[in-house]
């Protein structure tokens, strides 16, 4: 039986655009030759389901709110100013992420989305990474997280963290390889004209 994955991407005001748009593109266009249906259904979700204003003014309408969102198999938590300075202080968002950890197969952060995972306690005693400009801060504020530098992503099984902005695309290809194999990665990367070595 074909396996399809429901991918949820968290959105919030001042989210970094490529943090969510990069993974959205990778998972949306990925296809497995032997499958009739697309392997990923990609949906966006925000706290209230209302229009959000991403970094630099891009307006985005999420598919769902926390209240009516479906069950996701994979959750992508992007970063940006909205993550590290605003949502990190939003108890509702942090609790939602914490609850999702018990529901999803995989939770992955891009850039400073790692701050939200750390705040939810999901990175305690785990290796993690984030944007190079923010590693020292995350290490200082969350001493139970084992920060790693100079890497695109860190795979800890059910949790993956990635570096800044475009590293989220690299991480998404890594997830493709884990779930569907290297051929799907090569086909998708070629379609995107994205140079990648996994």
**What pLDDT digit, counting tens, does each position of 15-46 carry?**
999 999 999 999 999 987 777 788 999 999 99
- CB-side exposure of 156: number of CA atoms within 13 Å? 21
Q: Return the percentage of the chain with pLDDT > 90, whole number.
A: 92
Contact 113, 19 (CB under 8 A): yes
Q: Return the percentage of the chain with pLDDT > 70, whole number.
A: 98
Which has the higher per-residue pLDDT, 197 or 178? 178
Q: Which of 8, 6, 23 is nearest to 111 (CA)?
A: 23
Contact 67, 30 (CB under 8 A): no
pLDDT of residue 2: 66
Contact 188, 157 (CB under 8 A): no
Give pTM, 2 decimals.
0.95
Q: Which residues pair with 8 in a beta bridge?
A: 43, 75
pLDDT of residue 93: 98
Contact 175, 160 (CB under 8 A): yes
Average pLDDT value for the chain: 95
Six-digit token string for 50 = 């209302």
Which has the higher per-residue pLDDT, 6 or 198? 6
Q: How far from chain centre, in Å, is Cα 9?
A: 6
Six-digit token string for 133 = 């400009």
Q: Which domains does the chain have, with CATH numbers?
A: 5-192 (3.40.50.880)
Q: Which of 54, 113, 53 is nearest to 84 (CA)?
A: 113
CA dihedral for 196, 80, 106, 45, sign (positive or negative): negative
* DSSP secondary structure letter of residue 65: E
Q: Helix, strand, or coil here: 131?
A: coil
Q: What is the mean pLDDT of residues 103-130?
A: 98
Question: What is the spatial distance between Cα 168 and Cα 20, in angstroms, rounded to a whole number?
Answer: 8
Q: What is the mean pLDDT of residues 173-180?
A: 96
């Amino acid at each position: 039986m074909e396996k399809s994955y429901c991918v949820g991407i968290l959105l919030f005001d001042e989210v970094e655009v490529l943090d969510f748009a990069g993974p959205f593109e990778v998972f949306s266009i990925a296809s497995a030759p032997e499958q009739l249906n697309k392997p990923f259904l990609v949906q966006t979700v925000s706290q209230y389901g209302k229009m959000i204003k991403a970094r630099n003014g891009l307006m985005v309408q999420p598919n769902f709110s926390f209240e009516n969102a479906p069950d996701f198999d994979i959750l992508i938590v992007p970063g940006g100013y909205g993550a590290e300075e605003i949502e990190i202080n939003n108890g509702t968002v942090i609790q939602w992420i914490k609850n999702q950890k018990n529901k999803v197969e995989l939770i992955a952060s891009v850039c400073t989305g790692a701050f939200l995972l750390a705040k939810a306690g999901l990175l305690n005693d785990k290796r993690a990474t984030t944007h190079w400009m923010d590693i020292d801060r995350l290490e200082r504020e969350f001493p139970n997280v084992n920060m790693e530098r100079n890497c695109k992503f860190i795979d800890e099984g059910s949790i993956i963290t990635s570096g800044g902005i475009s590293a989220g695309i690299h991480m998404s290809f890594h997830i493709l390889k884990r779930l569907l194999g290297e051929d799907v990665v090569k086909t998708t990367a070629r379609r995107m004209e994205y140079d990648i070595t996994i």
